[in-house]
Structure 1
Amino acid sequence: MLNLEELALQLSVIRAESTYIDGNQLYDEVLNYMPRLNRFIFNIHTHIINSCVGIDLPYNNDIRNSFINRGFQSIDTCADERLINNRGNCHVYSLPYQFSEFLFMSSCFQGGKFNKVRMLLMLDRRPFEHELFKIISQDFPFLQKLIIWNSEPEQNKQHHSSTTPSYICIEYETLKSVTNNFTNDATRAICTEIKSRITSDTFVRLENFDSYFSSHEILVLRKPFK
């Protein structure tokens, strides 16, 4: 590590009873041991699980300044400043963004330019609203795969998005809410464009679930016998 001159780091960390990784901790525990490092690109995600409410979370500007003070001028951050169900997420990454994946995006995301990203994973216990998907459609112009996990329905349902990635993974309950129990004609028009589906036989589907899609190519995932 002492002779390392270039480093591309994409890191996701789960921490309990702690706070987000900042520039000071990254320098003290990692970069301080790489004296010859002259090129460093990174995307660092911290997922915290805190049952102790007394732990104060840093603000976005605090995290950003901790990296700037260590010499990283071209960076951006997005961090949950309050916990939901004792959980929070923080992203900090160098600019321009150099990775083909953006993993564990949360609802605090504010946008940017991500021309190299082909796969996006969205994960949050807060609802993803229309404005966030509008940002994604503009800032991820070459997105091919979109994976969404969200336990809360969208609050503002007055809008729709024209984003059409080639692969989407979505929870059944979310899909049921968006399509109004698979009766909405507007979303039906979008679903008819889907060429294939991968589903599971482990959930109870509404009667008109299968007829809502025009696809004839269906792969059903089954649990193995014990």
Structure 2
Amino acid sequence: MYVFMLRLSQKASQSLKENMNRSNVHLFDLPDEILLIILNKLNNIGVLYSLLDINNGRLNVLAQENTFTNILKFVSIDDTSLINRFCIDILPRIHRNVKCFIFDPIFMERILLTTDYPNLIELKIHNFHEEISLNYFTNKSSLRSIFQEQITNLILINNDECARTCSSDYTAKIYAHILTFFKNLKILRIIEPSVVSYPPLSLCYFPSTTFSSSILTHLYINVQTFDDCLCLLDGRLKQLTTLFVTVCCAFNYSRTIHNMNKLPNLKCFSLQIFYEFQPYDRIASLLHHRNSVIDGTYIQHDIFDCMPQLHSFTFYVCTYVETVDLSYKLSSEDIQQTLMNIGLQDVTSIVNYDCDSRVACSIFSLPFQFRYLKDLGNKFPNIVFSYVTYLHVKDNDPFRHEFFVRIAKSFPLLKYLRIYNVRSSLPVDLMTFTSDNCQLYSTIEYSHLTTLDLSCAHREYVEQFLNETKIYMPCLMDLLVKLDDLIAVTKNFTRNETRRNCTKVKTLFIVPPRLDVEGLCDYFPSLYKLTIFFKCEEILTIND
């Protein structure tokens, strides 16, 4: 069932009112403007396939309308006859309207060579991997003229895994080559398909001419280190107006001193950083700061002063320091004050002592506009994180039921949750996993949660999440958990209260390895993949 909100012209509105007064109104009685709005709410590939050549001249014209055919999406299509008809019959008729293609690489060559597309300027390629670049982004490619002369906006959903390739090699062969090969590229977006990161950009050991462009205006990309982020700001991208960058890690960093030139054209900057231990010292030395906490002083000196035209700065910086290096008790109020001192009002900070020896310090702009949030503890501000789909919670103190109530309310679109907490809020002798105390809790619903990682969580949290009287997860498909905890909480796969949350699980990762899993498959009726890990290494995968 579709519900449409329509904004109509006066003529269309009057026509609609007249038709609504009739008792036998049909779809074809609606004015063209309304029909086109309805069609644009549907999948245009399906509409084109269904409506063209059905002996209705009006629908035939509407289906080929410019605003309806300027973006075509061919993703997750396994119908050969559909692709054949599009390439033979439909695309040659609408080719002048097409401005953007969204497709899987397996369709790319056939679709792009079907006819000419004089107005095509944008490509979005799903499941992009290194071989695509090596095979098609070359001077010998049959698609060379389209890539080099027409495409100004390139979006790659990168499916290459970070752990399987060297970032510097990937930078030279793929990223740097793309900026050289696409002669008119102005917008480049490299996007990760899931929580698994793609190979980040690594520039530190290359000359300043690497990954450079005189026309690129928008860049969205992951980089290896903080140094790599500084490289992007050293003048090699002179026309850059918008930069969205995520610093993935920083265990390998150089000691190069970067010459930070003024960036007069940069107007929108989004920065996301996660730093562990050693990089903290690196940032401090770069900034000549009195400690290793990134705060308002850092933002003023190394961002605002270098970007005089900047009018939009969104950021999420999560840095870590060992408590032994702190000479005082760090608080979010301290950091908040430095941010207010430079006039930043729509920002906040979180300080989380997530273990005995480490403190995680986060500062971010409001509203929070990133998909990830890491190392969130028991204490966090009362705001709604509307964009976050991936959340990692960790604390030295145990999480109570009320904490997960707040998580459900504060993260309404949460899809991936990882819990890292080995401390229980209950004495061991009270952990009987019976239904007697179920009514003590209000049931929480995580409506969108598809992946739950409890592999580093106390058994109490396995009980919290699998017991449907406490938490209900209607979309849970991937579960990571210690097998012994799973057996205990489900009472050897017989307990009714934990059964419903397991019914849709398709992928189960269990640690440590045990092969005596009798009753498991019956308890997980949708299971098609069982993966057993030992010391974080996969040792056995069973596909049903």
TM-score interval w.r.t. the shorter chain? 0.7 to 0.9
- The corresponding residue for 2:346 is 74
Answer yes or no: is 1:36 the counterpart of 2:36: no
The TM-score with structure 1 as length reference comes to 0.80
3-state DSSP of counterpart to 2:359: strand
3-state DSSP of counterpart to 1:188: coil
Q: CA shift at 1:45, angstroms?
A: 0.9
Question: Quick one: distance in 2 between partners of 1:195 and 1:32?
Answer: 51
Question: Quick one: distance in 1 between partners of 2:319 and 2:275?
Answer: 5
Answer yes or no: is 1:58 the counterpart of 2:330: yes
Contact 2:531 2:538 in 1 (8 A): no
Q: How does 1:1-226 map to 2 (within 5 A)?
A: 1=233, 2-3=262-263, 4-15=266-277, 19-52=292-325, 55-80=327-352, 84-155=355-426, 159=441, 161-164=444-447, 165-171=449-455, 174-175=458-459, 178-179=462-463, 181-183=488-490, 185=495, 187-200=497-510, 202-204=512-514, 210=520, 213-215=523-525, 216-222=527-533, 223=537
- Aligned-pair Cα RMSD in Å: 3.2
Contact 1:11 1:44 in 2 (8 A): yes
Larger helix proportion, structure 1 or 2? 2
In terms of Rg, which structure is larger?
2
Task: Give the letter aligned to residue 168 of structure 1.
Answer: L
Larger relative contact order (C-alpha < 8 A, sep ≥ 6)? 1
Q: CA shift at 1:208, angstroms?
A: 6.9
152-161 vs 94-103, which deviates more?
A: 152-161
Identity %: 20
Contact 1:10 1:44 in 2 (8 A): yes
Task: Give the letter aligned to residue 450 of structure 2.
Answer: S
Contact 1:7 1:39 in 2 (8 A): yes
Q: CA shift at 1:86, angstroms?
A: 1.2
Structure 1 residue ranges without an equivalent (≥5)? none
3-state DSSP of counterpart to 1:114: coil
Task: Give the letter aligned to residue 182 of structure 1.
Answer: V
Contact 2:354 2:396 in 1 (8 A): no
Q: CA shift at 1:168, angstroms?
A: 1.0
The TM-score with structure 2 as length reference comes to 0.37
Q: CA shift at 1:206, angstroms?
A: 8.1
Contact 1:191 1:213 in 2 (8 A): no
Q: CA shift at 1:15, angstroms?
A: 3.7
114-123 vs 150-159, which deviates more?
A: 150-159
Question: Quick one: distance in 1 between partners of 2:510 and 2:499?
Answer: 23
128-137 vs 190-199, which deviates more?
A: 190-199
Question: Quick one: distance in 2 between partners of 1:121 and 1:154?
Answer: 19
Q: Residues 96, 199 of structure 1: CA spacing in aligned structure 2 closer, same or farther, 3 A cutoff?
A: same
Contact 2:392 2:418 in 1 (8 A): yes
Q: CA shift at 1:199, angstroms?
A: 1.6
- The Cα offsets for residues 108-155 of structure 1, whole Å up to 9 and x where unpaired, read as 223311112222122333322222211111111111221222222344
Contact 2:347 2:365 in 1 (8 A): yes
Q: CA shift at 1:19, angstroms?
A: 4.7
Contact 1:115 1:141 in 2 (8 A): yes
